[in-house]
Structures are given as structure tokens and as C-alpha cells.
Structure 1
Amino acid sequence: MKTKIHSALFGLSVGDALGVPVEFKSRDYLMQFPVTDMMEYGSHHQPKGTWSDDSSLAFCLAESLSEGYDVNDIGEKFVKWRNEEIWTPHGKVFDIGISTNQAINSIESGIKPILAGGFSEMDNGNGSLMRIIPLVFYIKDLSIEKRFDIIKDVSSITHAHIRSVLSCFIYLEYALNLLNKNDKWQAYKKMQIDVKNFLNSNAICSQREMDKFYRILELKVSDYDVQMLYELKESEIGSGGYVLESLEASLWCVLTSNSYKETVLKAVNLGRDTDTTGAIAGGLAGLLYDYEAIPEKWIDVLARKDDITKLCDNLFSKYG
């Protein structure tokens, strides 16, 4: 039986694998040579169906959660991924983010995982957002206050700045609404209302920090008119490694597409951080359209698909 857990984790890893061969390619290049199917070799010289550190760390999180929630164990799993190469597609780590690597070094040196991630404004890459979706299955029945606290801790293992935390929070609030069978528009509007109410009722961040999310939350900021993210042109959507760009891009791809396939191909063809945009958008699209909507031929070539299936089964037995 394929569940929403299978939909999200396969959705993420297939999107990731579509993007790996063209990571760092420009949008102009991909307009000329768009990704339309699984490719091999390319940027990292990997076989077809190879996923990156995005999926590896999501799988580490999922494996830890299948044994219960323990932030220290999650941190230890990340260390084992880098050092012992668990949850790698072919037994070797071929890509790792600078902030994630530094956080793993900190954990190794004895720093608690929730204090290992970078706290500065420069520490806002997409390395916690890309791996966070398995957490939705653990927090789904908790209060919004408790959800935020847990998301903050899990993001902070590698990315502790409030902007990264809020990005993960917004993303998982949207994912939760999709999990609860809202359509993509109902889910988006409910996320906006719930997040704005929560932030306005709690001293979580400064107004300046909240305003960074004005395009997602549809906020009036200084002299700017309220902008609807889904009405923006592709040229107005970034696709680099900055967490806010990745969040906007993934939501934009979901809201402006009508199938899993369309969503992830649109995400990958934005260029630059292609695997991560594909993964982040793919996790949401998997939840929205279900496992059966993911092209079978893409799943068939996915590295370690049987291991991923077993992981999903284990997580479902715990939180299904």
C-alpha cells in the first residue's frame, strides 16, 4: 500500500534526481535544453536516478523519526551520513552544503545538535528546508505552538537563523494542509492565515523578518503593493541556494502547475540549484497528487527505491 508518506518521500527524491544532472545550469541554458525526463551523468557524473544530499538528509530524518522523535539522534544520523555514508544513493557522498558540513563538524566536537546550526543572517541557505518534509508526519496532530517549536529545533541542527526556521514552518504548514486533503488553493490560504495569526500573536521574530515573506504571506510592506506569489512571472522567481528563494520557487511551481510531472519539471528548469528546488517542490507535489501521479518510469530508475519503500513503510507503521 502506498501512503502519503510514500507520496512525499518519493515525490521529493524523484524531483531531486531530475535536478542532479543539471545542477548549476543557468535558466537560459535550460530554456534551450530543457529537462523533460531522467538524465544521467551531467553536473555530478552520476547514473540516472541518483538523488543528492537533499534526499539523503530527508531519509536520515525519516529513519530517526521511525524510531521516535529525538533531536540528538537526528543529529547523529546526519554525522553518520557524512562519515559512514549511510543513506547515500551509491555508497558515496558526492555533494554537501557548507553550512551542513560545518554543523556536522560542530556536532562531532560535542556541541548539542540544536545549537550546531549557524545563527547569522548569512546562514540562510536551503539546507534545512530541503530535508524537512518527513517531519510533517510527526507533528501533524500537535498544536501550532508545538509544531513551531519542533520545526525550530530540527531546522536548527544545520540552520538556526529565524529566516530558515520560518521558511521550514511555512513549508510544513502548507504540507500539513495538503496532508489534510485540502486542495492546493485552500491549503495555501489556510497556511497564510494560520502563519500570520501565529506570528502576530507570538513574539517569534521582528516585523522586519516577517516582512521578508511578504510575497508568500501577501503582506503590505512599505511602498510595495501586496503581491500574489502565483501571479508572478517566471523571471521574478529566483532559484539559487537562498532559503527564501527556494521556498518561493517551490510554492510558485506547485501553485502554477496542474500535475506532479509539470511541477517538478518546472522547478528543475528554473536552473541553478535544480536538485533542491526539484526536491522541495517535489515533496509538496507528491502530497498533493499522490504516489500514483509520479511517473512510474521515474520511480523505476530511482536509486535504492526498495530501501526508500521500506523506510516509508516503517515511518507509516509509526505515524500512519
Structure 2
Amino acid sequence: MLKSAIYGLAVGDALGVPFEFKKRGTFTCKEMTGYGSWNQAPGTWSDDTSMTLATLDSIKETGRIDCEDMRRRFCDWLHRDAYTANGETFDVGTTTRIALERGQGLDDYHANGNGSLMRILPLAFTEATDEEIRAASAITHAHKLSADACVDYVHLARQLIRKEPVARDEIKNKSVDDIQSTGFVLHTLEASIWCLLNTTSYAEAVLTAVNLGDDTDTTAAVVGGLAGIVYGYEGIPKEWIDELKNKGLIDSILNK
């Protein structure tokens, strides 16, 4: 199930990369494409997957939630192109960059982008406490909103891992016009839940997320991880997995 979650996140990320920053209704994503916003080849994933892989690698190597080790790996990604799809780091969030350069997370209200939410999924497969989840968020995003969003997301992922029903009708019943897909952490969390609850397949969930526009790669990555858990690895279209870049890196970390 970890494999399906990580691949679900990476595929969603790669689907969204070419459309990032584009406004809803100005495009339609139906398949894995490339170039566009970042001029990257089809199947190229971005910071969402890179930081998720760094988080997972840290957990696999240390056997615990070691925030200093995670920080070092994030810095390897930022400064030395580690954990990337093609040897190039791109699409780095402002809060993430500043926090890693300063050596401490930002805790002001304006530092509530989705840069910790997008990488927190591996903790759902551990016994991490809420305090440890918040600490992992705070490596970069230390405000309570971001930390609490990460806790909520990990709890939701664990529900899905246990195959428990998810009742979030207050989100599910919203119209698409009421769903925002900006980089604000609460928008991303709500949009990902909305996409999951209003679709019936992995492909439909992530394509719905991309087509919301704006922060397309992160919204699709966040719901893609959840949809991977729900629908399994076999539920992810094979042609999308085939196009995904640097699967060797993903598999090497998963198989540690």
C-alpha cells in the first residue's frame, strides 16, 4: 500500500506539472503530457515527489521520525539536485527555500503554503504521533495551520489504509465553484478531499484535481497519494506509470 501511495502521489504530481499556475477553465488535462509551465518532458515530477521521497528515505534509513535528518535530505535536494526526476531541482516554494536556508521553519501566517502537506504522506505508514507530524511539518512550515493540516491529512490517510469510510460531507457536498485550488494549505487539503470523495477511480480523482487549475501539481499529488491507497497500484493507469521519470529512484527507496 505504501508503493501505491507513493506512485499515486508521483503520478499526480507529474500530471499537474505542465499546467501549474494556469487558471481553471483555460485548459483540460486528459493524459500525461509535458512542457507547458515548466518546459519539462512528460512524466517529470517536481518538488512534491522529491520532498516526499526524501522524507520516506529518512524514515527508512533512520527507522524513526528524525527531523534533522529530513532537513539534511531536503537541503541535498535543494542545493544538490538529490531526489529529482531528471537531475534538476525546480519549482521550489518560497517558504521552503527560506526555511531551509535559515535552518528553521517559518511560523508567520503568510507561510502557510502547502509545502509540508505535500510531503507528509510517508508518516501515515508509521506510528508517528501528532507531535511528530507537527515537528516534521515545522522543518519548513511551522505555523499551526500547516502543522494541523498535516495531522489531519495523515489521520485521513490512515483511515483509508484501514479501509474505514471517510465522512466529510461538509466538503463532499460543496460545488466545484466553492473549491479553491491555490497554494494555501487549507485550500489544498480541502480540494484534495473533495476530489477524492467526488470521483470513483484513481484517474478521475487526479485529473479532476489538475483541472481545478492553479497549484495543479500539488493538488493532484496530495489527492493522488490518497487515491493510490484507495484504488491500489493496479488502479493507476499503466501508461502513466510507464511514462513516469526515474522510477528506479522511487523503487530503490521503497525497497530499502
- TM-score (structure 1 length as normaliser): 0.78
Which of residues 297, 303, 312 in structure 1 aligns to 2:254? Answer: 312
Q: Residue 75 of structure 1 aligns to a residue in which SS?
A: helix
1:170 to partner: Cα distance: 0.6
Which of residues 148, 158, 166 in structure 2 aligns to 1:166? Answer: 148
Which of residues 231, 241, 246 in structure 2 aligns to 1:299? Answer: 241
CA RMSD of aligned residues (A): 1.0
Residue equivalent to 1:179: 161
How does 1:87-236 map onto structure 2 within 5 Å?
Answer: 87-107=83-103, 116-139=104-127, 147-182=129-164, 186=165, 188-189=166-167, 228-236=170-178
Letter in 1 for 2:255: D
User: Whole-Å Cα distance in 2 between the matches of residues 19 and 155 of structure 1?
Assistant: 23
Q: Residue 187 of structure 2 aligns to a residue in which SS?
A: helix
User: Whole-Å Cα distance in 1 between the matches of residues 85 and 134 of structure 2?
Assistant: 28
1:277 to partner: Cα distance: 0.3
User: Whole-Å Cα distance in 2 between the matches of residues 40 and 120 of structure 1?
Assistant: 35
- Higher mean displacement: 80-89 or 12-21: 80-89
Instruction: Tell me, yes or no, if the aligned pair for 2:106 and 2:143 is still in contact at 8 Å.
Output: yes
User: Whole-Å Cα distance in 2 between the matches of residues 313 and 302 of structure 1?
Assistant: 18
Letter in 1 for 2:101: N
Which of residues 3, 13, 16 in structure 1 aligns to 2:13? Answer: 16
1:302 to partner: Cα distance: 0.4
How does 1:22-37 map onto structure 2 within 5 Å?
Answer: 22-30=19-27, 34-37=28-31
User: Whole-Å Cα distance in 2 between the matches of residues 85 and 309 of structure 1?
Assistant: 18
User: Whole-Å Cα distance in 1 between the matches of residues 190 and 163 of structure 2?
Assistant: 22
How does 1:262-277 map onto structure 2 within 5 Å?
Answer: 262-277=204-219
Residue equivalent to 1:51: 45
- The structure that has the greater radius of gyration is 1
User: Whole-Å Cα distance in 1 between the matches of residues 90 and 158 of structure 2?
Assistant: 31
Query: Which consecutive unaligned segments of at least 5 residues does structure 1 have?
Result: 108-115, 190-215, 217-226, 315-320
1:280 to partner: Cα distance: 0.3
1:81 corresponds to 2:86: no
User: Whole-Å Cα distance in 2 between the matches of residues 81 and 122 of structure 1?
Assistant: 24
Letter in 2 for 1:237: I
- What number of residue pairs does the alignment pair up? 254
User: Whole-Å Cα distance in 1 between the matches of residues 18 and 33 of structure 2?
Assistant: 6
Q: Over residues 261-304 of structure 1, what are the superposed CA-to-partner deviations in whole Å (9 max), with x where a residue is unaligned?
A: 00000000000000000000000000111111000000001011
Q: Over residues 198-253 of structure 1, what are the superposed CA-to-partner deviations in whole Å (9 max), with x where a residue is unaligned?
A: xxxxxxxxxxxxxxxxxx6xxxxxxxxxx711011100000000000000000000
Instruction: Tell me, yes or no, if the aligned pair for 2:25 and 2:211 is still in contact at 8 Å.
Output: no
Letter in 2 for 1:171: Y
1:310 to partner: Cα distance: 2.1
- Higher mean displacement: 116-125 or 249-258: 116-125
1:306 to partner: Cα distance: 2.1
1:93 to partner: Cα distance: 0.8
Which of residues 242, 247, 252 in structure 1 aligns to 2:184? Answer: 242
User: Whole-Å Cα distance in 1 between the matches of residues 38 and 14 of structure 2?
Assistant: 11
Q: Residue 255 of structure 2 aligns to a residue in which SS?
A: helix
Q: Over residues 134-184 of structure 1, what are the superposed CA-to-partner deviations in whole Å (9 max), with x where a residue is unaligned?
A: 111122xx6xxxx211101000001011100111111110000111122xx
User: Whole-Å Cα distance in 1 between the matches of residues 91 and 146 of structure 2?
Assistant: 20
Query: Which consecutive unaligned segments of at least 5 residues does structure 2 have?
Result: none
Q: Residue 122 of structure 1 aligns to a residue in which SS?
A: helix
Q: Residue 276 of structure 1 aligns to a residue in which SS?
A: helix
User: Whole-Å Cα distance in 1 between the matches of residues 20 and 108 of structure 2?
Assistant: 26
